[in-house]
Amino acid sequence: MAAFSQETGKPVRVVALVGPAGTGKTSLAEAMLFTAGAISRQGSVDAGTAVGDASPEARARRGSTELNLARFVYLEETFVLMDAPGASGFAPDALPAIAAADLAVVVIDPDPARAALAEPALRLLEALGVPHAIFVNKIDQARGRIRDLLEALQPMSARPILARQIPIREGEAITGFIDLALERAFHYRPGKASERIEIPQALAQRESAERFHMLEQLADHDDALLEKLLMDETPEPAMVFGDLSRETGDSLVVPLLFGSAQGDHGVRRLLKMLRHETPSPAAAEARLGADGGTYVFKIAHANAAGRLAYARTFSGLAEGAELHDREGNAVRAGALFTVLGDKLGKTASVPPGAVTAIAKVDTIRAGDVISNGRARCAGFAPPMPGHALAIATRDRKDDVRLSTALHKLVEEDAGLAWDQDAETHEMLLRGISDEHLNMVLARLKRRYSVAVDAQPPRIAYRESIRRTATQRGRHKKQSGGHGQFGDVVIEVAPRGRGEGFAFDDRITGGAVPRQWIPAVEAGVRDAMERGPLGFPVVDVAVTLIDGSYHTVDSSELAFRTAGRIAMSEALAACSPHLLEPVARVTIETPGSATSRITSSIASHRGQMLGITPRAGWSRWDVVEALMPEAQLHGLGAELRALSQGLATYRAEFDHLAELNGALADAVVKQSKAA
């Protein structure tokens, strides 16, 4: 179904800006909005005046922490711009939204040495099936050759990267460009449209060669164009631009343009490319299976407007329209809002293809595709939250408010989760990275006035034994009336690592009546909850071999107490030792950082398991290792520092390993002091 703007009568299209952190995506969005006349003044990220990055957390770090939306009209074409955070810790917020885009622009630096930073974004877009282009920002700071950048980028893309421009230089500075499709040259003018100039004579031969190469790339998917090239005929401009539009929209090629957001260079050329080559909303609608319906990509809790569902509607939407949740229940759309950064504008309806914020649809969830009278989940799996902090309110009266606030924050952020550890009873806040969790804590305090203390979660140490011991446990108490009497003898022995607990009995002659034997086992288990070193005991075998009872004073409680006494004394005599949990860690990293990361693993008492190439990625490795869980806190930040912010890891419990010496002594001392 066609999607039209109420203002222009033309398709409303959605463009996402993605790419590494620090490449100037928000600055580019600001320049695009200013050039299109959507804002009257071009703000600055550093000054905290940009339309995007409006939250205090984003302004404090001078980088995006959440998805930002803005709407503009350029040359009678309506666009919605999605500015996605570049830092990997904040990516889950943007993933469902990017899937709804008609085209994505990957914003990168001009330095070929930093080209690897673009690969995660390129691979994500390929996986989502979203057509995309590349914009090389900060071109006025470039010192290397665009050709070298292209050569570095191409192995990272499954599709050919098609250079649309070549630079014009004055000395080392890039002062303009030649558009290979238009065969025209332009000179940059800050704050104004670039001035058309004659193609410099020194670049005429290169322009001809680069244009022919571009046409050859297009001809790989157009037999008519290929025939013209073979016949040495000049293709008509309509054929060239038609192929550029079709092949970009069909994800057959990846156009590359360059410019400078802060210098206002190349922004208009980018906007014109988007105007001509961004595909219609029909492709995104089909990709999402929306079938003329509405796709919800984000939930947010705004102070005044309440809970808002951010959505793209492919058939238009009016206030009061009937929607359906995943259970098939009818939900009436409340107020509708247009979005420009953190500013909401109320509207009675939105046209097909538009992005809107919908109020009062409390059972609609992020990821819902609402069509044909029911919602279904689009199925975008967010990254698993792999980092955790133990949090506790500074004032116990805030516990209920904390729970309410966390429910809202988790609903907003697909990369966030929280739970209570069954063993330590700590409340654990889980996120994608340490910087992600720090941002959540800041937001928790600012929005909900809940201050918490945060620390690394307690490590689930265990203890076991090395020796066998036989021990009697007797519980005798007389205080008038019926007393208490239980007497047991147990044999305690170590088991193999991971074999767990086993209980048996070799009672003969009724030394311990059968009905009290389960109570003895319960008492043994009680003692194992906290061994001599202060931690749960594992991998032991206990055999009840003898005992005695009293016909009047023996009871279940008495034998349970006797079992606990016997086990506690036996464990102390069995040479107890500490066990620490060891995780299997899988790290995905650019190959250039692999050696540094393996050295880091060794410094954290890690054991290397192997290094393999990352399937489908250019010069990336998968590093696998075993590492003590006590060494994982802060690992994410260290890996990012070693890999230009690119390496990520996931960890899962593998086994328990013996911990000895000063490290074990320190753990035991801390446990006994707690």
DSSP 8-state class, residue 84: -
Domain range 289-377, its CATH number among 1.20.120.530, 2.40.30.10, 2.60.40.10, 2.60.120.260: 2.40.30.10
Residue-wise pLDDT for 89-131, tens only, equals 556 778 889 999 999 999 999 998 888 899 999 999 999 999 9
The CATH architecture one would assign to domain 12-284 is 3-Layer(aba) Sandwich (3.40)
3-state DSSP assignment of residue 297: strand
Smallest CA-to-CA distance from 268 within 169, 166, 186, 183 is with 186
Looking at the chain, which residues constitute the CATH 3.40.50.300 domain(s)? 12-284
The pTM assigned to this predicted structure is 0.87
**Residues ≥6 apart with Cβ < 8 Å to 572:** 532
How far apart are the C-alpha atoms of 351 and 7, rounded to whole Å? 9
Give, in words, the CATH class of 579-673. alpha beta
Note the CATH number of domain 387-455.
3.30.70.870
Smallest CA-to-CA distance from 398 within 421, 425, 430, 427 is with 427
Residue-wise pLDDT for 287-296, tens only, equals 998 888 899 9
All residue ranges of the chain with pLDDT < 70 are 1-10, 53-54, 58, 60, 63, 87-91, 480-481
What's the pLDDT score for residue 371?
80
Tokens of 151: 């050569």
CB 19 within 8 A of CB 25: yes
How far apart are the C-alpha atoms of 578 and 349, rounded to whole Å? 65
Q: Could you tell me where the beta strands, DSSP code E, fall in 84-230?
A: 103-108, 132-136, 161-163, 165-170, 173-179, 184-187, 195-197
At what angle are helices 223-230 and 204-219 packed, to 10 degrees? 140
Tokens of 435: 């910087």
Tokens of 67: 């998805």
Q: Is 231 exposed, middle or buried, given 0-12, 13-18 or 19+ CB atoms closer than 10 A?
A: exposed
3-state DSSP assignment of residue 308: strand
What's the pLDDT score for residue 608?
97
Smallest CA-to-CA distance from 72 within 64, 62, 80 is with 80
Residue 648: alpha-carbon gap to chain centroid: 10
Task: Kindly report each contact of residues 191-194 with a partner whose C-beta sits within 8 Å and lies 24 or more positions away, as own/partner.
Answer: 191/264, 192/264, 193/268, 194/265, 194/266, 194/268, 194/269
How far apart are the C-alpha atoms of 175 and 188, rounded to whole Å? 6
The helix (H) or strand (E) run that includes residue 69 is strand 68-74
What's the pLDDT score for residue 95?
87
Look up tokens 């939306």; give the residue. Answer: 69
Q: Is 454 exposed, middle or buried, given 0-12, 13-18 or 19+ CB atoms closer than 10 A?
A: middle
What's the pLDDT score for residue 89?
58
What's the pLDDT score for residue 7?
55
How far apart are the C-alpha atoms of 94 and 85, rounded to whole Å? 7
What's the pLDDT score for residue 424?
85
Strand pairing category for 254-258 and 161-163 = parallel
Q: Could you tell me where the beta strands, DSSP code E, fall in 329-416?
A: 330-332, 336-340, 343-347, 349-350, 355-359, 368-371, 374-377, 387-393
Looking at the chain, which residues constitute the CATH 3.30.70.240 domain(s)? 579-673
Looking at the chain, which residues constitute the CATH 3.30.70.870 domain(s)? 387-455
What's the pLDDT score for residue 229?
93
Dihedral-angle region of residue 48 (phi above 0 means left; psi in -120 to 50 means alpha; beta otherwise): left
**Topology, domain 462-574:** Ribosomal Protein S5; domain 2 (3.30.230)
What's the pLDDT score for residue 1?
37
Looking at the chain, which residues constitute the CATH 2.40.30.10 domain(s)? 289-377
- Beta bridge partners, 418, equal 429
What's the pLDDT score for residue 481?
65
Looking at the chain, which residues constitute the CATH 3.30.230.10 domain(s)? 462-574
How far apart are the C-alpha atoms of 320 and 361, rounded to whole Å? 10
Strand pairing category for 165-170 and 173-179 = antiparallel
CB 664 within 8 A of CB 577: yes
How far apart are the C-alpha atoms of 346 and 344, rounded to whole Å? 6
How far apart are the C-alpha atoms of 247 and 620, rounded to whole Å? 28
Q: How would you label 488-504 residue by residue, b for 16+ Cβ within 10 Å and e otherwise? A: bbbbbbbeeeeeeeebe
Q: How many separate helices (H) and strands (E) can be counted in the chain?
A: 17, 35
